C-alpha cells in the first residue's frame, strides 16, 4: 500500500504507520476504491486513551469528545469541542492513501503534526520525499 503522510510518500507499506517505534495507525482497503478501514487509538498528553477507531468506527469515545465523518473515499476524526481535525485520510488515484492533515498525541505523549509541507513529531521533521518500506510499516519519528 502507498501511504502519503503530508508531502512524504511511503511506498510498499503493509498499511501500518509506526510512530516513535510503536504501531499507532492501521489502514486496510476493503476493496479497490474503498472503503478504507482504519484502526487508530487516540491518546492524550499523558498516554491515556480517550477514544479509539476500530474499522473506521468509534468503538470507544469517552464523553463523546470525538466525531468521525466518513464516506467511500475519506475519513475525518474531529474533536467535537474544538472542531480540530485530529486525523484526515483520503483515498486518491490508484488507491494511494493520503493523510494531508492531522494533529494528535503519540503513545509517548508527543504531538504529531501533519501538514501539506511536512510532518513532525518530537524533534523529527520530514519534508517531501519518497521511501520504499519493502513491505514493512511506514516508520515516523
pLDDT for position 90: 96
Domain of 13?
A: 3-123
Residue 140 within a domain: no
pLDDT for position 33: 82
- Whether the upstream peptide bond of residue 35 has omega within 30° of 0, thus cis, is yes
Over the stretch 46-61, which tens digit does the pLDDT of each residue have? Answer: 889 999 999 999 999 9
Residue 133 within a domain: no
pLDDT for position 46: 87
Residue 130 within a domain: no
Residue 137 within a domain: no
Which cell numbers in the block locate residue 24? 499507532
pLDDT by 10s per residue, the chain, length 141: 999 999 999 999 999 999 999 999 999 998 888 899 999 999 998 889 999 999 999 999 999 999 999 999 999 999 999 999 999 999 999 999 999 999 999 999 999 999 999 999 988 999 999 999 999 999 998
Which of 95, 88, 96, 89 shows the shortest CA–CA distance to 10? 96
Residue 92 within a domain: yes
Domain count, the chain: 1
Q: Cα separation of 67 and 96, whole Å?
A: 24
Residue 132 within a domain: no
Residue 23 within a domain: yes
Residue 138 within a domain: no
Q: Cα separation of 41 and 111, whole Å?
A: 14
Q: Note whether 42 and 51 are within 8 A (CB).
A: yes
Over the stretch 16-41, which tens digit does the pLDDT of each residue have? Answer: 999 999 999 999 998 888 899 999 99
Amino acid at each position: 500500500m502507498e501511504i502519503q503522510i503530508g508531502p512524504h510518500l511511503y511506498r510498499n507499506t503493509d498499511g501500518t504507520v509506526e510512530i516513535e517505534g510503536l504501531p499507532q495507525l492501521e489502514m486496510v482497503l476493503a476493496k479497490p476504491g474503498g472503503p478504507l478501514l482504519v484502526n487508530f487509538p487516540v491518546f492524550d498528553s499523558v498516554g491515556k486513551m480517550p477514544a479509539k477507531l476500530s474499522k473506521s468506527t468509534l468503538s470507544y469515545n469517552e464523553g463523546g469528545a470525538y466525531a468521525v465523518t466518513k464516506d467511500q473515499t475519506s475519513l475525518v476524526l474531529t474533536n467535537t469541542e474544538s472542531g480540530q481535525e485530529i486525523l484526515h485520510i483520503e483515498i486518491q488515484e490508484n488507491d494511494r492513501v493520503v493523510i494531508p492533515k492531522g494533529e494528535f498525541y503519540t503513545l509517548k505523549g508527543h504531538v504529531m503534526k501533519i501538514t501539506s509541507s511536512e510532518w513532525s513529531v518530537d524533534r523529527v521533521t520530514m519534508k517531501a520525499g519518497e521511501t520504499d518500506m519493502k513491505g514493512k510499516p511506514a516508520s515516523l519519528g
